[in-house]
Amino acid sequence: MGPADFLKNELPEFLACGLCYAGDVPYWEPAADAGGWEVRAAPPRGGPEWTLPEG
């Protein structure tokens, strides 16, 4: 079982928030303000996380 198997079990909105933002991200709150959420850094260029060719 790898990361792809784990990710298939999560709701899409949780995936996006959990992968893009660090810390507690209360995406389910109706009044949630994403302006204060910490954005995660992108994975290193050329790493296995990138599945599409550059360009």
| pLDDT score at 3 | 54
Distance of CA 28 to the CA centre of its chain: 15
- The residue written with tokens 């995406």 in the block is 27
Cα–Cα distance between 11 and 44 in angstroms, integer? 26
Is the Cα torsion angle 6, 16, 43, 49 positive or negative in sign?
positive
- Ranges of residues in the chain whose predicted pLDDT is under 70: 1-15
| pLDDT score at 30 | 80
Q: Is 36 helix (H, G, I), strand (E, B) or coil?
A: helix
C-alpha separations of 17 from 1, 13, 34, 39, 54 in Å? 22, 6, 10, 9, 24
Can you give the pTM of this predicted structure?
0.52
| pLDDT score at 2 | 55
| pLDDT score at 33 | 83
